[in-house]
Amino acid sequence: MYKSGNVKIDTTKRISQRDLESPIRDFIDSFPHLFTIHQTVEEVLSTLQSVKTEKKVEYLYVTDKENKLQGVLDLTDILYSPPKTPLIDLIDTDVFYVCEEDRLEKGLKLLATNQILIIPVVNAENQFVGVLEIFPHSSDPKKIHYKNLKEDIFQFIGFSIEQRKYASPWHEYRLRMPWLLCNLVGGLICAVISEFLQGPLVEVVLLAFFIPLVLGLGESIGIQSMTLSLRFLHIRKINWRQVWRRVYVEGKSSFLLGLTSAIIISFFYFAWSLEIMPIIAIGTSVVTSMVVAALFGATFPIILHALHLDPKVAAGPVVLMMSDILTITIYLGLSTLLLV
């Protein structure tokens, strides 16, 4: 027997690990608006008008005569289609669904990833058995603001699942340590690069004073770009046109930011020295390294997402590591080229 009823969300508490590991069949709810592929638009409208429900319905599910799930139907398509149109001509067969034996965690991930509040549930024979729906407690459903509600629920789901990941110290260690090693490796690589390109530091000691500043600017803009790019990862399918536009805009923005930083640095530099070539090397390195670090920070999380890796854990350490390596290489490389 099913625990028929909505998954009730209390946003002051996280979903328990026991619930996340429970099968979805324990949380199945009935769905009143189920139709078959042989029915018409006219029949659907007649049924909807005769049935009163407090639930806000945006989609309808369609099955065949054996109750096997065939697709999903958008209410908008119903309203703008001729009355005699069969539903088989309107349904979207690319429908997300879960099996009743799947864990609740899988169902919640699908809901959050695809930004939906309801998903159909099928049995082993692909027969429709109900829905998994997220709906909050409320004494007056009419007062619920669905736009804000969806955003809060998806954040809540993500938080609950992430909390489960870090329930075990050993599991947390295994998840985080490989990526934190990137910082260690990055520091060692920077030390090796400094050893090979130490010529300008010996010739112009003043360059060494600006290394922490240049590294800090590269790290900062890399993390900023990474954070902005994570917005693309809330959707299931990446829009590559938007990605390339994002990279283009990030390149221009980082150039302006780098140029501004170089100008500010030059004012402080002339308080120590009036030599022109070192400040040209420093300024050029700042602009170049900030552009390169920003472009890497903007694209790397999207690449991880495309490879089905978790960018929230992996992107930060790798972006910091590569920002340091690229920045120190550009800084000492250009200084060597211009000063030695």
Q: Assess whether pLDDT exceeds 80 at residue 13.
A: no
pLDDT of residue 294: 92
Rounded average pLDDT over 314-319? 78
Residues in the chain: 340
Q: Is 264 a residue whose pLDDT tops 90?
A: yes
Q: Looking at 22-26, 73-77, 141-145, 163-167, which range is the least confident one?
A: 141-145
Query: pLDDT value at position 252?
Result: 92
Can you tell me the distance from the alpha carbon of 100 to that of 126, in angstroms, rounded to the nearest whole number? Answer: 10
**Long-range contacts of the stretch 232-239 (C-beta < 8 A, 24+):** 232/302, 232/305, 233/301, 233/302, 233/305, 233/311, 234/115, 235/115, 236/113, 236/114, 238/302, 238/305, 238/306
Model confidence at 157, pLDDT cuts 50, 70, 90, reads: low
Specify the 3-state DSSP secondary structure of 136: strand
Higher pLDDT, 170 or 41: 41
Average pLDDT over the chain, rounded to an integer:
79
14's tokens: 């996280």
In which band, very low, low, confident or very high, does the pLDDT at 289 lie, cut at 50, 70 and 90? very high
Mean pLDDT of 101-114: 79
Range with lowest mean pLDDT among 106-110, 160-164, 228-232, 294-298: 160-164
Cβ–Cβ < 8 Å for 64, 39: no
What pLDDT score does 3 carry?
46
pLDDT, residue 135, reads 63
pLDDT of residue 22: 82
CB proximity list for 32: less than 8 A, separation 6 or greater = 51, 53, 55
Mean pLDDT computed over 22-46? 85
Positive/negative CA dihedral, 313, 101, 121, 16? negative
Q: Is the pLDDT of residue 58 over 50?
A: yes
Contact yes or no for 156/11 (Cβ under 8 A): yes
Q: Please, which residues have CB within 8 angstroms of residue 45's CB and are 6 or more apart in sequence?
A: 78, 83
Residues of the chain with pLDDT > 70, as a percent, come to: 79
Q: Does residue 291 have a pLDDT over 90? A: yes
Residues near 270 by beta carbon (within 8 Å), at least 6 away in sequence = 279
For residue 182, count other CB atoms closer than 10 A to its CB.
18
Q: Which amino acid is at 143?
A: K
Say what the pLDDT of residue 196 is: 84
Cβ-Cβ contacts under 8 Å for 293 (sequence gap 6 or more):
218, 219, 221, 222, 225, 254, 319, 322, 323, 326, 327
- The mean pLDDT of 216-236, rounded to a whole number, is 81
Residue-wise pLDDT for 124-149, tens only, equals: 898 999 888 776 555 444 444 444 45
Residue 126, sorted as left (phi over 0), alpha (psi -120 to 50) or beta, turns out to be: left
Q: Average pLDDT, stretch 100-118?
A: 79
Q: Which residue has the higher pLDDT, 58 or 147?
A: 58
Banded pLDDT at 257 (limits 50, 70, 90): very high
Strand partners, 9: 136
The pLDDT, as a whole number, for residue 288 is: 94
Q: Residues 56, 57, 60, CA angle at the centre, nearest 5°? A: 170
- Domains of the chain (ranges plus CATH)? 7-165 (3.10.580.10), 169-339 (1.10.357.20)
**Which H or E run includes 218?**
helix 211-229
Beta bridge partners of 59: 74
Query: Does 66 have pLDDT greater than 70?
Result: yes
Buried b (16+ CB within 10 A) or exposed e, 230-259: eebbeeeeeeeeebeebbeebeebbeebbe
- pLDDT-derived band at 4 (thresholds 50, 70, 90) equals very low
Angle CA 309–323–158, to nearest 5: 30
CB 161 within 8 A of CB 109: yes
pLDDT at res. 158: 56
CA distance 70 to 128: 9
The string of DSSP codes covering 275-302 is -HHHHHHHHHHHHHHHHHHHHHHHHHHH
